[in-house]
Structure 1
Amino acid sequence: MTGWTEYTLALVAFTASHFVPRIGDLRGRLIGRVGRRAYFSVYGLLSLALLVWVIVAAGRAPFVEVWPQAPWMRWAPNLLMPLAAVLIVNGIGIAQPFTLGGRRQAVFDPADPGFAAISRHPLFLALALWSLAHLVPNGDLAHVILFGLFAALALAAIPIFDARAQAHFGPDTAPAFFRATGLFSLAPLANRSWRKRNGGRLVKRTAIGIILWAALLLGHTAVIGVSPLP
């Protein structure tokens, strides 16, 4: 299998895994048969395996330079990845069901939006940051396609999920939902009431996010084969 053939197959498989389950309500029928927990456990493992395959296949694809790497470009992932890691940890299980990683059974309370006040789509933003940060120093064709596709998918998903929230809440209550949440805002940190309810959890999860980033940084050379340092 040539490098471009494997890469194309990996991209098609990864992309299809996110769209095929929605055809004919296949996902709904599978959830009804095996249960939500089993479905998302298997789907999560499959998505992770396909993601690893795409990344590995991109490294094996022939090198075709789109733009050269300049030394300053390596600062992009080093500056943005800590924020992406913090968003990931704070976004897992967010009490906002209309986003990636949100608790599906959560009942959103506009008076206490939790981390959604900072970002109602933290995992999508984290994926976009990861993609764009790595796009800058990786100017070969395979990685431009890879990171460009991931960034596009993440950013395109945000208005789609916002539309679902709009449809769920309806014209009367949707404005309260959007006023209580933000795409990305640090204003809640200046709100004493918000800090009192969420400050402890935010500090703990942010610390875990920094540890996650440090682990990714230290393991990058061993796992990916390329030093991330400028």
Structure 2
Amino acid sequence: MGFLLLLLGLALWIGAHLFKRVAPERRAALGDRGKGLVAAAIGLSLVLMVLGYRSAEFVNVWYPAAWLTHVNNVLMLFAFYSFGIGASKGRHAQRIRHPQLTAVKIWAVAHLLANGDLASILLFGGLLGWAVAEVVLINKAVPVWEKPSEIRPNGDVKNAIIAAVLYAVVAGIHVLLGVYPFG
């Protein structure tokens, strides 16, 4: 049942996020009500993915080396930093077109390196595939990127501090859930 929930959640996540890209007329026809429907679908998809991942039978596919846990942890710092680039409006906002999707890709790769079980490969690999597809579809729809004009002098520093705090909070949540991210 765990794998089924995981796959349903993943499919719902991908479908809800890509709906606007693959069926823009249908999404526009829903108007503001559509925002609520998409948000509900994304929320439900998260619940299904978490429940499915946590309850999936452990099926080992490969054994990651112990040092890959440390690579995962370093990459996660970059993922948190990347996620906040757009909001921080520092200099890096003019270098990375899709900072949040870049963060998802870093997060997914990091977790694929550190986890060799089937549920992890499905979850993190599926979300990596979605993030790549999303970037391709956005770049196809809007091929020319207008870089942000507003740059905040301390934006990158503030983003780094917030990323470090969030990293610590998420690591603490992992520990509370019985997952020890530091080996």
Structure 2 length as normaliser, TM-score? Answer: 0.83
Give the drift of 1:12.
2.8
Give the equivalent residue in structure 1 for 2:115: 138
- 1:77, CA displacement in angstroms? 2.0
**1:19 to partner: Cα distance:** 3.7
Give the Cα separation in 2 of the matches to 1:117 and 1:20.
Answer: 27
Q: Which amino acid aligns with 1:29?
A: A
CA offsets 1:12-36 (integer angstroms, 9 cap, x no match): 33333234454372211112x54xx
Distance 1:63 1:197, change over 3 A: closer
Separation (CA, whole Å) in 2 of partners of 1:143 and 1:131: 9
Indicate whether 1:127 and 2:81 are aligned: no
CA contact (8 A) 2:77 2:164 kept: yes
Q: Map Cα deviations across residues 79-131 of structure 1 (whole Å, 9 max, x no partner).
A: 1111111111222486xxxxxxxxxxxxxxxxxx9543221110011000111
- 2:84–2:163 contact (8 Å) kept in structure 1: yes
Q: How many matched pairs?
A: 182
What does residue range 23-102 of structure 1 map to in structure 2 within 5 Å?
Answer: 23=23, 25-31=25-31, 33-34=32-33, 39-40=34-35, 43-44=38-39, 46-92=41-87
CA shift at 1:66, angstroms? 0.8
Tell me which residue corresponds to 1:15. 14
Superposition pairs of residues 204-223 of structure 1, within 5 angstroms: 204-222=158-176
> 2:153 corresponds to which residue?
199
Distance 2:163 2:69 in 1: 21
Q: 1:48 to 1:221 in 2, by over 3 A?
A: farther
Shift in CA distance, 88/149, structure 1 to aligned 2, threshold 3 Å:
same
Which AA in structure 1 matches 2:182?
A: L
Q: 1:23-78, CA deviations, whole angstroms, 9 ceiling, x for partnerless residues?
A: 372211112x54xxxx4466335414412421330221122111013311211221
Higher RCO, 1 vs 2 (CA within 8 Å, ≥6 residues apart): 2
Corresponding residue of 2:137 = 160
Aligned partner of 1:227: which letter? Y
Shift, 1:9, TM fit: 2.6
Distance 1:45 1:160, change over 3 A: same
d(CA) in 2 for partners of 1:45 and 1:205? 29
The change in CA–CA distance for 1:88 and 1:45 in structure 2 (over 3 A counts) is farther
In 2, Cα distance between the equivalents of 1:152 and 1:213? 24
TM-score by length of 1: 0.68
Per-residue deviation, 1:228: 0.6
